[in-house]
């Protein structure tokens, strides 16, 4: 968490996706899994159905966060690779692509080798393909966990208030063309930054025994997201009555 940003000392950087990604996911990294990241992940929705992720994370005992790893085939740099270690089952690997004020970074691959054109340069499709194939240049302990993982998730995080189907449909079509469309293997999910605010708020309101340091981190996360306009809209709590006037004037002088 960047305290200077909370106090408006970094105005030239406030629109950077990398800074927002670092702020939010580093907070998740240093908090207990069950307090922040798992609740955030459990609210992700399926690209195809728009339904909340149907998956149990009860047996997850550890999360490894690798920020901005590089892939070896398409030479991509996702924002994050998260590997969840489970008690009695293979790990779960998650590639995270986060957006704030920009769209997908697709690439025109017409001048590239034919084998690099298979996914039409779609950023999300290429990153998910790299995950499924294990094509990440990461240290051995993480690489071993990645190769052992049986379930691979793509998590697309944006500032949209609802699933941006016009964006995700494009990625789905590209992956289907490649043949990656099995119900058992295709795990494409979307979430938004506003959910991180909700997760922090609920943890602060529901958990009575949060250590003081964790509480401060959650409070700072809420303040940061509010500053960036990433607090969920929950309606007007105390709407003011509309004042009634006897006279109305349009470009005229009151007599």
φ/ψ of residue 174, rounded to 5: -65, -45
Cβ proximity of 217 and 27 under 8 Å: yes
pLDDT tier for residue 144 given thresholds of 50, 70 and 90: very high
Q: How far apart are CA 153 and CA 131, in angstroms?
A: 8
Provide the pLDDT for residue 239.
57
User: What value does the mean pLDDT take over residues 169-188?
Assistant: 79
Tokens of 160: 């949209």
pLDDT for res 177: 82
Give me the residue spans of the domains in the chain: 3-227
Q: Measured between alpha carbons, how far is 96 from 78 in angstroms, rounded to an integer?
A: 6
What percentage of residues in the chain have a pLDDT greater than 90? Answer: 73
Q: What is the pLDDT of residues 105-126, one digit of tens each?
A: 999 998 899 889 999 999 999 9
The pLDDT assigned to 236 comes to 53
DSSP state of 2: -
Burial of 193 (0-12, 13-18, 19+ CB in 10 A): buried
pLDDT of residue 186: 78
Banded pLDDT at 251 (limits 50, 70, 90): low
Which range, of 34-38, 149-153, 185-189, 208-212, averages the lowest pLDDT?
Answer: 185-189
DSSP of 187-221: -EEEEEHHHHHHHHHHHHHH-S---HHHHHHHHHH
- pTM score, whole prediction: 0.88
Q: 153, 181, 172, 22: which is closest to 95 by C-alpha?
A: 153
């Amino acid at each position: 968490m960047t305290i200077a940003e909370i106090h408006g000392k970094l105005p030239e950087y406030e629109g950077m996706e990398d800074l927002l990604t670092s702020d939010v996911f580093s907070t998740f990294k240093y908090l207990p899994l069950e307090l922040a990241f798992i609740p955030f992940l459990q609210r992700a929705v399926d690209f195809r159905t728009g339904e909340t992720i149907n998956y149990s994370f009860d047996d997850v005992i550890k999360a490894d966060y690798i920020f901005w790893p590089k892939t070896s085939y398409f030479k991509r740099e996702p924002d994050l690779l998260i590997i969840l270690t489970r008690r009695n089952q293979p790990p779960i690997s998650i590639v995270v692509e986060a957006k704030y004020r920009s769209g997908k970074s697709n690439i025109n691959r017409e001048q590239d080798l034919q084998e690099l054109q298979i996914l039409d340069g779609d950023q999300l499709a290429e990153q998910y393909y790299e995950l499924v194939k294990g094509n990440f240049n990461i240290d051995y302990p993480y690489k071993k966990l990645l190769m052992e993982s049986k379930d691979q998730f793509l998590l697309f995080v944006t500032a949209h208030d609802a699933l941006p189907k016009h964006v995700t449909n494009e990625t789905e079509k590209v992956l289907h063309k490649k043949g990656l469309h099995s119900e058992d293997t295709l795990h494409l999910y979307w979430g938004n930054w506003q959910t991180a605010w909700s997760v922090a708020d609920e943890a602060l309101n529901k958990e009575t025994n949060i250590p003081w340091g964790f509480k401060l981190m959650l409070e700072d996360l809420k303040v940061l997201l509010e500053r960036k306009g990433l607090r969920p809209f929950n309606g007007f709590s105390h709407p003011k009555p509309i004042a009634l006037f006897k006279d109305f004037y349009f470009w005229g002088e009151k007599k």
